[in-house]
Structure 1
Amino acid sequence: MMRFHISRLACAAAIIGAVFGAAPPVAADQMTHVVFPGQSIQRAVDAAEPGDTVLLAPGTYRESVMVSTPGVTLTGMGRSTVIEPDTNKAAGKCAEAGNGICVIGTKDHDVEGVTIASLTVTGFTGSGVFAMATDGLTVRNVTAVKNGVWGIAQERSVHGVFRKNTARDNGDAGLFLANTIKEEAGAADTGGTVVERNRLEGNRIGITVRRLRNLTVAGNHLTGNCAGVFVVGDENKPRAGALTVRDNTIARNNKSCPKTARLDALQGSGIVLTGAEDTLVTGNRITGNVGASPLSGGIVLFKSFVGTTSERNRIVDNVLEGNAPADLVNTDTSKSNTFEGNTCRASSPAGLC
């Protein structure tokens, strides 16, 4: 069967040149499939083979896209490449779930090496980007705005890289990473997943890491959410934790969010650890997070909602200022957590600064 071919070759060549510049040519058996507004992204993705790139010209595309071929890169040309829901309610599992872009492997085999880059995904009732059963997924320079649940979400996956994305005004977390969503299970090892230099604004929670291990959250900017970073565990084993939250700027996450069936009302939470173990929280600058929720404060250790304590977490060398009810809050009953070298003025209980 003939591989996907697009007309308007002169325009396509100009676009490819603008994106790739003087970069070395790709291998002879790799192709760049250029898509223009009004054409089908899904058709190009279905035609792509491992190593191929699907390049979206600037403009608005109204569809959901499913990626299941390994090694495919789906990229726009920046924020002006916009993916929105199809008002005709087109069929497909990604659209049916209310998501914009889906990267999905199988129960027995992860889809490897997919990249989603340099585009905007907005207005979906589910998630802007949703991934499951992936290995080495990269999501970079993606803007996920005003999606009903998560901006960018991933479950049951390893070796992910989430870098330089913007997630704003999404219904739940801007970035959501979990072991599995629909069933109980112990924390999964992510193989060193990295969440780095993202901007999270106006979401319910900026970044949620739920029942995972071996992961780094670093250099992100979080502001205007109800809560900045949540590291969530429970009684399942392995326990959540063994991860690092470092060098983030977490300021004025004072939006108010009502109580849900799973969680108290949220406002003014910087970093919350609940039911987690062996987590290092260091080098963060956390300022002006103010609220009256049980979870409010700069850095908060909180016994999980099923009664599981947080154990052996290290809160060291952070700078905290103007958080309320306190810069450091420890309501956990465990005695194994440590607070050292933090710059702060107020703690609950006293003596943690």
Structure 2
Amino acid sequence: MFQRLFMCLGIVAMAVTGALAEEPVAAEREPLVVALDGSGQYRSIQEAVDAAKKGDTILIRPGAYAEDVTIHSKENVRLIGAGMDQVTILGRERVGVFHIGKWPYGATNIEISGITVNEHGGHAMGMFNGRGIHFHHARVKGMLFTQQVEDVRIEDCVIGGSETTGIQFANSQAVMRGNFIHDNDHGVSVAGKSTVRLERNVITRSLFEAVIVNDQSRAILVGNTFVKNGGGAAFLGTSQNEASGNIVSLNAYGFVVGASSRVLLSYNAMQNSGSNYLRSGTPNQPAPDLKPDSDLTVDPRFVDTARDDFRLRADTSLVRIGGFPYLGALPPLAESH
């Protein structure tokens, strides 16, 4: 009797398992489309954001959107514009046109690309109290400010035109890779207890330093190009830092190191109109003793600095140094044969 019962239960289990295996997988949700001409489900970006659920993608068609946008209390949402030259968010009333997260509500695993964000009230974009934010292939005209955000990636963006700082990190953890940062008072400011890695970025035409690290922050600068700024980088406060494989050239001065900060320097190419190494003070004092043996003093051989072409010429000497295929942010031109 028990044998017959077990056989019956086995048949039922096989039938249920088969039914589950044959059940069709739910289709992926269609994207939410924003278009000013009414050809999408929404005419405003904010309406689409408010309607978005976990896992949704919002597609923004070309146009200039006169609105402020806030993404908060959202998870796993993608906002993809038609391209930074085709989609502009103009702002309307608020200081800061685009906010990701707001107090006390954050946002988690948010991806944004293919847009331009204008500034309003001196501030363009803010990231607050969030985690897992990926901002890429976008343009920011003004300041991008972060506060208490974690696992932020800012990649392949153009950020500039701020009357203060291009990107300000406050108590945040972030990676910046492949960005062009231009025409700000400071290019990047790292403050509070932030931990930030900058890799393969070009920072140019900052009134003061390309990068300033302060307070108890930690910054790792690897393979960047800091050119035509007031200064290369300043390591102040009690910050702990590394700078390796960077080109620091055509600035008024190179690295500034505070008395209580620490920085490990290696394989940087330095060529500036003033001192390459200084100790902070009033005024800063030249400190040639800070130069490590591996740092170089050499003309990088840029292609065309007047046109912001900071690629290296084929005859540059800054290749195959210290484990780097090339120093700085951009690869050298291929040699002609």
Answer yes or no: same fold by TM over 0.5: yes
The correspondence of residues 206-245 of structure 1 with structure 2, limited to 5 A, is 206-234=187-215, 239-241=216-218, 243-245=219-221
1:271 corresponds in structure 2 to 233
Q: TM-score, normalised by structure 1?
A: 0.69
CA contact (8 A) 1:211 1:232 kept: no
Q: Which amino acid aligns with 2:276?
A: D
Tell me whether 1:330 sits opposite 2:279 in the alignment: yes
Aligned mates of 1:327, 1:338 — CA distance in 2:
9
Q: TM-score, normalised by structure 2?
A: 0.72
C-alpha deviation, 1:53, in angstroms: 1.2
User: For this pair of structures, how many residues does the alignment match?
Assistant: 261
2:268 corresponds in structure 1 to 318
The correspondence of residues 160-199 of structure 1 with structure 2, limited to 5 A, is 160-179=152-171, 190=173, 193-199=174-180
- The alignment partner of 1:43 has SS state of helix
1:158 corresponds in structure 2 to 150
Aligned mates of 2:224, 2:26 — CA distance in 1:
39
Aligned mates of 2:32, 2:209 — CA distance in 1:
38
Aligned mates of 1:142, 1:84 — CA distance in 2:
14
CA RMSD of aligned residues (A): 2.4
Gapped regions of structure 2 (runs ≥ 5): 1-24, 38-42, 299-337
Aligned mates of 1:142, 1:45 — CA distance in 2:
18
Tell me whether 1:32 sits opposite 2:31 in the alignment: yes
Identity of aligned residues (%): 23
- The alignment partner of 2:234 has SS state of strand
2:248 corresponds in structure 1 to 286
The correspondence of residues 1-353 of structure 1 with structure 2, limited to 5 A, is 28-37=27-36, 39-68=43-72, 69-78=74-83, 79-86=85-92, 89=93, 95=94, 98-107=95-104, 110-145=106-141, 147=142, 150=143, 152-179=144-171, 190=173, 193-234=174-215, 239-241=216-218, 243-253=219-229, 268-290=230-252, 297-303=253-259, 309-310=260-261, 312-321=262-271, 323-331=272-280, 339-340=291-292, 341-344=294-297
Moved over 4 A (4+): none
Q: 1:34 to 1:155 in 2, by over 3 A?
A: same
Gapped regions of structure 1 (runs ≥ 5): 1-25, 90-94, 180-187, 254-267, 291-296, 304-308, 346-353
C-alpha deviation, 1:82, in angstroms: 0.6
C-alpha deviation, 1:212, in angstroms: 3.2
C-alpha deviation, 1:46, in angstroms: 0.3
C-alpha deviation, 1:52, in angstroms: 0.8
Q: Which amino acid aligns with 1:282?
A: S
- 1:200-233 Cα shifts (integer Å, max 9, x gaps): 1111111111123432111100111113433332
Q: 1:82 to 1:194 in 2, by over 3 A?
A: same
